[in-house]
Amino acid sequence: MNDAVDKTPWSKNEFKAQLLGMERYYHIHHPYHVLMNEGKLNEAQIRGWVANRYYYQICIPIKDAAIMANCPDRKTRALWIQRILEHDGHADNPGGIEAWIQLGQAVGLGREEIVSEEYVLPGVRFSVDAYVNFARRADWHEAASSSLTELFAPNIHQQRLDNWPSHYPWVDLKGYKYFRKRLSEARRDVKHGLEITLDWYRTREEQEKMLSILKFKLDVLWTMADSMYMAYMHHMPPYYNIDSNI
């Protein structure tokens, strides 16, 4: 007879360790990002990545607005709204989306090329839209917790700040503002997101469900990179074999 499966809830420290262990699925380990970090992407591949990630950037405040719309807690909303303001911009702060556009210009894209979304791959669009729709429909705690891929974000931003200037000297240094901004913002956002997550999920079943939610968000990021790898590394964008205009 098999021993019963241990369903004792993890302590907060054990639960946090489980969350941190999900870093192994973070897209910093995707071949596209590994090559990027090693300086092995060409200009077109860097531009393709920036153009596609722009769609993710413009959907982040939409996702956060959906979380706020479903959240009845005033104190949580007062903290969460900072994410929208920092991305969309406010007063004299142009915001993260504008900083990303500046990154696009720094790698050689025109503003209209970026904001037109003309280079956004279907796989990237579908992945990001799935994430936004999840945030709209899920319990707000679950949607908020899905943002905890930010646990791993400072490392990837620091990699770019450390390595891009030497690997990609053709990129205008003014374009690095976004990565510098997110170093501090992501750490603050992580603190708030962790507080919500560690307090809300109490049973082992709930905690394991949270890990599956985080894996979903990691899948979104990984699938975006898959789409770009096929398009820009293997030169196989959607319909490449049937449409000569691609």
* Rg (the chain; Cα; Å): 19
- Is the model's pLDDT at 1 over the cut of 80? no
Tens-digit pLDDT profile for residues 80-113: 999 999 999 998 889 999 999 999 999 999 999 9
pTM to 2 decimal places: 0.94
Closest by CA position to 185, among listed 101, 115, 82 = 82
> Which residue range forms the structural domain that includes residue 166?
30-233
> Does 148 fall in a domain?
yes
> Does 9 fall in a domain?
no
Work out the end-to-end distance of the chain between its first and last CA atoms, rounded to an integer number of angstroms. Answer: 60
Tens-digit pLDDT profile for residues 197-237: 999 999 999 999 999 999 999 999 999 999 999 999 999 99
> Does 23 fall in a domain?
no
Closest by CA position to 111, among listed 127, 129, 95, 97 = 97
Closest by CA position to 101, among listed 117, 115, 85, 91 = 115
- Percent of the chain scored above 90 by pLDDT? 89
User: Is 126 within 8 Å of 113 (Cβ atoms)?
Assistant: no
Closest by CA position to 102, among listed 89, 118, 83 = 89
Name the domain count of the chain: 1
What CATH code is carried by the domain that includes residue 46?
A: 1.20.910.10
Side chain identity at residue 205, one-letter code: E
